[in-house]
Amino acid sequence: MFKKLNLVVSIMAAALLFGCSNGNSTSDQTNKKEAAPKEKVELTMSAAASLQNALTDIEKTYEKDHTNIDLKFNFGASGALQQQIKQGAPVDLFFSAAEDKFDELVKEGQIDPKQGVDLVGNELVLIVPKDSTKSIKDFADLSAQADKIALGTPEAVPAGKYAQQTLEKLNIWNQVSSKVVYAKDVRQVLSYVETGNVDAGIVYKTDALISDKVKVVATADPKTHDPIIYPVGVVKDTKHPKEAEEFYKYLQSKAALKVLEQYGFVAE
């Protein structure tokens, strides 16, 4: 009788012990699931070179608040970036310095118009080295005073296209075209002027503001060139649509626009 009783007690104790152990295991697994960090997601944005400083600041703030997001930027001329996207480059978002480059991707179905917006604008300025001894005070002085003038390649660099439009509108393009030194993007134009390799350059106001080695001598009349508008949108082939749209919406927030405005951009 006692042997049977001991056997029953042993079985009940073992069952109770197993149950507690199993319950703790389930609880531990639940806690582990709740505590598990979000999967790391790498988002790639192709963006105009003129946005580099502003987006670098935005990146720091965004990644601090979204610890699972790793933002990667591919900066360059909008035309070149557009071609990369058309050829299938793995890009999640596109931030262009020209509407036409962006609109072409929309027309081809690579960017949904519902996930694209004209975000900011910019101005076009004439810059010279800070220690320049040339008497260049305006665009009209380029024909007589400048030996070398840096512009972005018009076919690929929106700032270069706007610059050529301005010089043509002012009727001085034919006089200065032989003096032009073409650059791959606005940052290279800025570098040429900073180092004194050219006498003058035409860049966006935002580029001029980040350098203490150049000075702005003139601002182009907006009527002399196409509107300078920066559209941004989500690329349809993104592998991370949710995260891409979240960052796309963040760029339209007051916090992000404040940073862009600090670098000289104008909210649309």
Record: fold of 124-224 = D-Maltodextrin-Binding Protein; domain 2 (3.40.190)
What is the reported pLDDT for 4?
47
Closest CA to 111 of 251, 241, 15: 241
pLDDT at 10: 53
Give 30-66 pLDDT, tens digit per residue: 554 555 567 899 999 999 999 999 999 999 999 999 9
Topology of domain 41-121+228-267 in CATH is D-Maltodextrin-Binding Protein; domain 2 (3.40.190)
Q: 179 exposed, middle or buried (CB, 10 Å; 0-12, 13-18, 19+)?
A: middle
Q: Which pLDDT value is given to residue 12?
A: 52
For residue 29, what pLDDT is reported?
Answer: 53
Strand partners, 234: 93
User: How confident is the model at residue 37, as a pLDDT?
Assistant: 64
pLDDT tens digits, one per residue of 157-182: 999 999 999 999 999 999 999 999 99
Q: Terminal CA-to-CA distance of the chain, rounded, Å?
A: 90
Q: Give the position of tokens 């891409």.
A: 244
The closest of 260, 164, 166, 258 to 209, measured between CA atoms, is 260
* Per-residue pLDDT, 11: 47
Give residue 268's pLDDT: 87
**Encoded tokens for 128:** 């010279």
Q: How far apart are CA 117 and CA 114, in angstroms?
A: 8
Which residues in the chain land under pLDDT 70? 1-37
Q: What are phi and psi of 87, to 5 degrees?
A: -90, 5
**Which regions of the chain carry the CATH code 3.40.190.10?**
41-121+228-267, 124-224
pLDDT at 115: 96
